[in-house]
A and B are shown apart, each in its own frame.
Chain A
């Protein structure tokens, strides 16, 4: 059992500035030290991951003149999973003249996150959001436009203003290709070197400071060392702990977990986002789930039959026998309630026995009214690619019958703990984008992930990293240092251990079992008994993994089974921490819903007196298969947005 005694340590200094919130970032920027332009090229910065956060950071730091080494597990930086984000990116431009402002975006994000995010960070995010759009347009990102040539906006999940910029249903692709092109320019200028098909398997510390990484070349199997003056971890989230999620197949937590084991605290691991509109599972063979953009809820109406176990085809169920439950329960927000609320309500309907489709684990998302109102052509113009994708996967035509939807794991708000400068508890290790825990609290609003990834990479780290470099001595190190050798040996040992088990279960067998435990017991709703069972089951599964897994092939060639095995081994530890964190957080907030803590009408009931803090978990060592952690706390203070019960009614 983890040592769960709350404890504060000096390491958890958020470094969040004080003073009027609208001045904090400007004041902080002025107070930070600068690196002489001529000296920047002497500093090597290691960037791990080339999604929105990583590519934008590599590009911006390259522009400033740093020597950047960018690493990706993919064959090309452009494959990072940011590419699959569909809906859009928020920015407080107020182009729609509908009352948006930096303050409103800040307010909505703090409230949407159910008061579990740091106000200073969120304000900064809202502040730089406008510059992101300017920069992306300058890079040639083809956002949707009005006939007059100006940018178009739409409203997006949980927002009552139109602040979302989009490029049809492929906004993530266009933003990522923009950041990729910007990074490519720095490759051309020789400021950035890209190392593709490399997987980070360890962080190298010298005198307690992050000075490099150990990677496996995924083609040759060679274990390589890379040294630098700082390491930026931009490796995304850990949704694949659930096996089935909307994350890409290769998305994993290994780089972050290896840093955690080297001393980086893990913030709020139990905060995961279950996205309400995903295509339901079709069978045991399912390898991943596909998200359907939340923008669909702008025009689609969510419903289930009023009667339990109604197996009629949707077109045979008359209006009077349908329950448009989101419109019924939340008359002011209707189908546009935040993700956590929409997901939970879908689960309640399924639990009541009113789910639809062959598995009974789905609700309808119906476009019949929208098609009647706007015409099929207009609906197709807005959502055509999503409708096509749905039809390809399900063989059902959503223009003719309602889509079947069910929630799926989509995003993780938790991640490595970082201060206001995006630095973890390990000096020199900075964490950007989804990999950190910082800005979304207990629930992320739609179209805010792209915003955060790019804010961190384009507009935050270029300043805060400079301050770190200028303020610390950073004596020169190279890969002949003993710490690099020791790390390479650790990594090789672990790979050999994975290969030498030679048991009977495949890596996927065990990953699927872990996923089932996580989904059933650490999913959309959690309770004490279930979480205790989960922790016990995950420990047993971890022992089973190390005694009975079969990893085919060898370590000195391309071996995707070995890659998967290392990642699943880490998920087997992270999963336990997620369950432990969920158990210790004896309240409901945002995406973390504890059955024991709910209002009479089934909404999440926070406990601000005891849990208005970030839980930052410190790895406290392992013995055999047993891992222990210490729970530290960073208190959260709300000076501007006063905690209230979220209400979307």
Chain B
């Protein structure tokens, strides 16, 4: 293995025993952190040390560590998923930090994402928004041949770009109003851009927006902080599409 010099980092990590408990920052040093480590591997090192010294490790959500599952979160020095653009926390590498840096690590904070423990939050509100209408009604076995539905490549590509949302919640954490508009609109736009999604287009946007509001997410004021923080660069255009569809549907469905 190539020799890499270990760094020492001064961490301030949010610890909170449960949803109703009072939280506080744990100050701890991470030692021998090499630049090739991912941010979560750095936290693994910290946790192993905590366990070895008889303490409880810091809880954080993570799974694929490839930037696709959307499980990892964290607000790192004020930025959801850290300082690097278009990058999830698991794909952020320690070479972006310098020896001696201070790093503040907090959970995604939003009323609709209650803290479960330490850095883990409850993002089930996102599932409920999807359950309200983020689907196309098509029973298994009922479909015609796939090539009976031509989709212009441009629309297929746009739909794909919206569909790549990983559901991590960084958009909510970045927004001053904790709005879930980017998340919700990505699904609305994905399905509205495809011919298969037309039958339920109006009903879908009305139901998903209603659920988003019911979950207590804030309103959107188009600052674009969501899109800037998004690790998969979901475009602000999706919100425009959602608003347009919502307006049209609201007028028709009064």
Closest to B63 in A: A248
Question: Which A residues, 270 to 307, have Cβ-Cβ distances below 8 Å to chain B?
Answer: 282-283, 285-288, 290-291
Q: Quick check: is A177 within 8 A (CB to CB) of the other chain? A: yes
Docked-complex contact A76 and B143, CB < 8 angstroms: no
SS class, residues of chain B in contact with chain A: loop
Contact for B146 among A63, A151, A458, A508, CB less than 8 A: A151
Docked-complex contact A358 and B1, CB < 8 angstroms: yes
**Cβ contacts under 8 Å, B159 to chain A:** 140, 142
A145 to B105, CA, bound (A): 42
When A184-B135, A358-B2, A395-B95 are in contact, do A79 and B146 touch as well, CB less than 8 Å? no
**Cβ contacts under 8 Å, A630 to chain B:** none
Q: Quick check: is B7 within 8 A (CB to CB) of the other chain? A: no
Docked-complex contact A248 and B56, CB < 8 angstroms: no
Docked-complex contact B140 and A135, CB < 8 angstroms: yes
Contact for B156 among A135, A142, A184, A458, CB less than 8 A: A142
Chain A nearest CB from B23 CB (Å) reads 14
Q: Quick check: is A139 within 8 A (CB to CB) of the other chain? A: yes
Q: Quick check: is A185 within 8 A (CB to CB) of the other chain? A: yes
Contact with B along A400-415 (1 / 0, CB 8 A): 0000000000000000
Closest to B62 in A: A249
**Cβ contacts under 8 Å, A63 to chain B:** 139-140
A173 to B45, CA, bound (A): 30
Docked-complex contact B196 and A140, CB < 8 angstroms: yes
Q: Quick check: is B218 within 8 A (CB to CB) of the other chain? A: no
Chain A nearest CB from B200 CB (Å) reads 10
Docked-complex contact A95 and B153, CB < 8 angstroms: no
**Cβ contacts under 8 Å, B145 to chain A:** 134
Contact for A81 among B40, B48, B69, B134, CB less than 8 A: B69
Q: Quick check: is A479 within 8 A (CB to CB) of the other chain? A: no
Chain A nearest CB from B149 CB (Å) reads 6
**Cβ contacts under 8 Å, B59 to chain A:** 558, 560
Contact with B along A445-468 (1 / 0, CB 8 A): 000000000000011001000000
Interface size on B, residues (CB 8 A): 80
Docked-complex contact A79 and B142, CB < 8 angstroms: no
Contact with B along A129-169 (1 / 0, CB 8 A): 00101111111101111111111000000000000000110
Docked-complex contact A145 and B65, CB < 8 angstroms: no
Closest to A82 in B: B69
When A75-B122, A282-B1 are in contact, do A181 and B141 touch as well, CB less than 8 Å? no
A185 to B159, CA, bound (A): 20
Chain A nearest CB from B93 CB (Å) reads 7
9-residue interface stretch from B125-133, B172-180, B222-230, B243-251: B125-133
Interface band, chain A: 35 or more
Docked-complex contact A76 and B134, CB < 8 angstroms: no
Chain A nearest CB from B8 CB (Å) reads 15
**Cβ contacts under 8 Å, A83 to chain B:** 64, 68-69
Docked-complex contact A459 and B141, CB < 8 angstroms: yes
**Cβ contacts under 8 Å, B190 to chain A:** 140, 142
Docked-complex contact A168 and B68, CB < 8 angstroms: no
Chain B nearest CB from A260 CB (Å) reads 24
A482 to B142, CA, bound (A): 43
A359 to B4, CA, bound (A): 13
When A188-B131, A287-B41 are in contact, do A138 and B143 touch as well, CB less than 8 Å? yes
Docked-complex contact B56 and A287, CB < 8 angstroms: no
When A389-B91, A552-B55 are in contact, do A145 and B138 touch as well, CB less than 8 Å? no
Contact for A188 among B18, B57, B132, B163, CB less than 8 A: B132
Q: Quick check: is A196 within 8 A (CB to CB) of the other chain? A: yes
When A146-B153, A285-B45, A558-B59 are in contact, do A74 and B71 touch as well, CB less than 8 Å? yes
Given contacts A56-B140, A79-B70, 10 further A-B contacts (CB under 8 A): A77-B127, A137-B143, A139-B135, A150-B147, A173-B164, A181-B134, A196-B127, A287-B44, A395-B36, A552-B56
B interface list, Cβ under 8 A from A? 1-2, 4, 17-18, 34, 36-38, 40-41, 44-45, 48, 50-52, 54-57, 59, 61-71, 87, 91, 93, 95, 116-117, 120, 122-124, 126-127, 130-147, 149-153, 156, 159-160, 163-164, 166-167, 190-191, 194, 196-197
19 pairs, CB–CB < 8 Å, chain A vs chain B: A75-B71, A76-B123, A84-B66, A135-B141, A142-B156, A142-B190, A149-B150, A151-B147, A173-B68, A174-B163, A184-B131, A185-B135, A249-B64, A282-B36, A392-B87, A392-B91, A550-B51, A553-B57, A558-B120
